[in-house]
Structure 1
Amino acid sequence: MKILVTGAAGFIGGQLWHTLWKRGDEVVGIDNFSYGNPDNLKFDDHDFGAEVRRMDIRDKAGMLALFEAEKFDVVYNIAGIAPLPDCQSDPVQAIEVNTLGLVNLLEAGRRTGIKQLVQASTNAMYENETEFPTVEGKFNPPTLIYPNTKYCGERFAQSFADTYGMTVTCLRFANVYGPHIDCLRKQPPFVGYMIRELYYDRTPEFHSDGNQRRDYIYVDDLIALALRVVEHPQKGFDAVNVSSNQSYSVRELYAIANRLMGKNIEAKYCPSSHYWAKYPELYGGAYGIKPEILDHEVNKFSQCDNTHAREVYGWQPQVDIETGLGRVIEAETRMLAGLESK
């Protein structure tokens, strides 16, 4: 198959590209490198650095020209702005990338006849739910900018599917972790931050009391489902939870990481406002963000039902949390050691 992967230099996009390449698919990878990193394109058996194309999914004419030239069968849209504070701080850019960028791809795909588009969506759109595990077809709309960009994107995806008969599959990722997780950015994912601080023997600062629980999914399991939805496509629009159907607290994960890394460092637990202190722009202007919104985001519980993925696509996660964390720790400590040796 001829496949496009957007956000190809990201944590997930790079590993998806690698998996498709090993399978023998013809893949074009694009990234504008606003969040992508060349290191995500380097694997033991291949370096995609010379092959990735620097392109932006917001470029309407550029995307249509690419689609017309390449005649893609399948598009995986992994590009996006994922850090929630970044989206909240610059909502216009978040909407341009996460929502309008998707619409550009849908329109280019409609014009050129792609067979399927697979969209990276999020379980963050369940942020206002109180009944768990959450299911795909019943939930209250989200509040914050990031989940709303994905929620609106899904509505446009369904519009294209219903109006034109396209096949669009939205994968609602739980908290994804795995090798190549970005532990060096300003606000790294929790798993990456935890490993980084332990590696340097620093005291990590977590927010709230550490008892908040989230649903995590290992990147290899996510990619397995991303392949499965294309191998067994459901015509029209479909939304699929990519989740373990289990939840783990910050304290539980930190205890596992401490043990696996041979450390015994007590974490510091801070009020939820501490998380947002690096983003003073959220408090400025005539209207500042409500403290209860911040507190809810930091302390929210998440656990997604994966019955739909299991029953329709024959998928279930294979990597347990301890095995997955062990693999991430091995990869990230090797990367950090390499940086120190330079």
Structure 2
Amino acid sequence: MKIMITGAAGFIGSQLAHTLWKNGAELILIDNFSYGKMDNLEFEDHSFANEIIKMDIRDKDGIADLLKAGDVDYIYNIAGIAPLPDCQTDPQQAIDVNVIGTVNLLENGRKYGIKKLILASTNAMYENETEFPTVENNFKQPTLIYPNTKYVAERFCESYCKTYGMNVTCLRFSNVYGPHIDCLRKQPPFVAYMIRELYYDRTPIFHSDGNQRRDYIYVDDLVRLAILVQEGEGFDCVNVASNVNYSVNEMYAIASKIMNKDIKAEYADDAHYWEKYPDLYSGAYPIKNEILAHEINKYSLCDNAHAKEKYGWVPEIDMEEGLRRVIENECELLSRLGEK
């Protein structure tokens, strides 16, 4: 079995690559390293550092050449611009990568006969829902740039399935956490930021009151489902979710206990949420405070019945065990980096 993984040097792509490699798959790994890191490609039992191909998913000829070489069964499109403020700051780039890049893979996959494309999508497209848990086939169109790019990418996937008879599954990730989560990003994911600040004995600054609740999924559980959906035919969208949610304060309490830290968090006003992206606050039409408040206080809880019923998948890693594993990995990384 030959499998192409885009975004293979990222947090999720590298974990998927490692599992598929252990399962005996022949891999084609690509990443343009705008977000990916070579460190993610190093595992105790294998290094992918000399196997990764530096390539952008928008490269028509490059992707075509890789598929022409023959017999690629599956493409996992994990590449993309995911941080919400990055997408808001440069919407043209976000659309170009997340939408046009996906279409490039679909078109080349159509020409050269892949069995299936699996797209990394997002539960962020449920940002305007008011009924929970959210299900795959009934939701309001999103507002922000990032979830809209994934929403549109899914529509092109559906188009290729209906028009050409291709097979595509869109995996709508909940908030993913696990070893190698990016704690060095300009605005890291919450789990990474929380662990980093605790490690350095700094006071973390959260927004709102810390009672906002999100649905999280451990990366190993995600990878298991990503492999199971290889078998599905036609077009499908699947929530990759635990169907359990936790508040910021609850997760901070768990992490503090595991790390044996007693640091009281501080809370900032919603309006400062993306202050590291000043362009969003400038211009004739700055970002609305109510949009920031909505994003910060957004409640997420995703139904995972479809994944259970169709693919026989259930999440196995609970929050306490998952955070324990992430903390162990991230603390080892931070100890090598020194003060940041």
TM-score by length of 2: 0.99
Q: What is the rounded CA distance, in whole Å, between the counterparts of 2:78 and 2:183 in structure 1?
A: 19
Match in the other structure for 1:272: 270
Q: Indicate the SS of the match to 1:118.
A: strand
- 1:281-319 Cα offsets, whole Å, 9 max, x none, are 112222111111111011100010000000000000000
Q: Which amino acid aligns with 1:8?
A: A
Match in the other structure for 2:176: 176
Match in the other structure for 1:239: 237
User: Deviation of residue 67 (structure 1)?
Assistant: 1.2
Q: Which amino acid aligns with 2:145?
A: I
Gapped regions of structure 1 (runs ≥ 5): none
- Cα RMSD after superposing both structures: 0.9
The runs of 4+ residues in structure 1 deviating greater than 6 Å are none
Map 1:184-263 onto structure 2 (within 5 A): 184-230=184-230, 232-233=231-232, 235-263=233-261
Q: What is the rounded CA distance, in whole Å, between the counterparts of 2:61 and 2:205 in structure 1?
A: 45
Say whether 1:12 aligns with 2:12: yes
Q: What is the rounded CA distance, in whole Å, between the counterparts of 2:286 and 2:17 in structure 1?
A: 41
Map 1:153-168 onto structure 2 (within 5 A): 153-168=153-168
Q: What is the rounded CA distance, in whole Å, between the counterparts of 2:219 and 2:315 in structure 1?
A: 10
- 1:212-232 Cα offsets, whole Å, 9 max, x none, are 0000000000000001101x3
Q: What is the rounded CA distance, in whole Å, between the counterparts of 1:56 and 1:172 in structure 2?
A: 22
- 1:45-90 Cα offsets, whole Å, 9 max, x none, are 0110111000000111221122112431000000001100000000
Q: What is the rounded CA distance, in whole Å, between the counterparts of 2:283 and 2:322 in structure 1?
A: 43
User: Deviation of residue 34 (structure 1)?
Assistant: 0.3
Q: Which amino acid aligns with 2:225?
A: L
User: Deviation of residue 183 (structure 1)?
Assistant: 0.4
Q: What is the rounded CA distance, in whole Å, between the counterparts of 1:301 and 1:286 in structure 2?
A: 30
Q: Indicate the SS of the match to 2:170.
A: strand
Question: Which of 301, 309, 312 is matched with 2:310 structurally?
Answer: 312
Question: Which of 267, 280, 283 is matched with 2:281 structurally?
Answer: 283
- 1:168-198 Cα offsets, whole Å, 9 max, x none, are 0000000000000000111111000000000
Q: What is the rounded CA distance, in whole Å, between the counterparts of 2:333 and 2:274 in structure 1?
A: 28
Q: Which amino acid aligns with 2:296?
A: V
Q: What is the rounded CA distance, in whole Å, between the counterparts of 1:294 and 1:67 in structure 2?
A: 42
Match in the other structure for 1:115: 115
- 1:7-41 Cα offsets, whole Å, 9 max, x none, are 00000000100001000000010000000000100
Q: What is the rounded CA distance, in whole Å, between the counterparts of 2:191 and 2:70 in structure 1?
A: 37
Match in the other structure for 1:81: 81
Map 1:33-112 onto structure 2 (within 5 A): 33-112=33-112
Q: What is the rounded CA distance, in whole Å, between the counterparts of 1:147 and 1:69 in structure 2?
A: 34
Q: Which amino acid aligns with 1:173?
A: F
User: Deviation of residue 275 (structure 1)?
Assistant: 1.4
Q: Which amino acid aligns with 2:132?
A: F
Q: What is the rounded CA distance, in whole Å, between the counterparts of 2:71 and 2:101 in structure 1?
A: 19
User: Deviation of residue 97 (structure 1)?
Assistant: 0.5
Map 1:16-35 onto structure 2 (within 5 A): 16-35=16-35
Q: Which is further off, 286-295 or 134-143?
A: 286-295
Q: Which amino acid aligns with 2:127?
A: E
Q: What is the rounded CA distance, in whole Å, between the counterparts of 1:55 and 1:125 in structure 2?
A: 28
Aligned length: 339
Percent identity between matched residues is: 68
Gapped regions of structure 2 (runs ≥ 5): none
Q: Which amino acid aligns with 2:313?
A: W
Q: What is the rounded CA distance, in whole Å, between the counterparts of 2:184 and 2:174 in structure 1?
A: 21
Say whether 1:135 aligns with 2:135: yes
Q: Which amino acid aligns with 1:273?
A: A
User: Deviation of residue 262 (structure 1)?
Assistant: 0.3
User: Deviation of residue 106 (structure 1)?
Assistant: 0.2
Q: Indicate the SS of the match to 2:242.
A: coil
Q: Which amino acid aligns with 1:333?
A: C
Q: What is the rounded CA distance, in whole Å, between the counterparts of 2:211 and 2:151 in structure 1?
A: 28
Q: Which amino acid aligns with 1:76?
A: Y
Match in the other structure for 1:146: 146
Q: Which amino acid aligns with 1:242?
A: V
Match in the other structure for 1:294: 292
Question: Which of 305, 319, 327 is matched with 1:329 structurally?
Answer: 327
Q: Which amino acid aligns with 2:300?
A: S
Q: What is the rounded CA distance, in whole Å, between the counterparts of 2:142 and 2:156 in structure 1?
A: 16
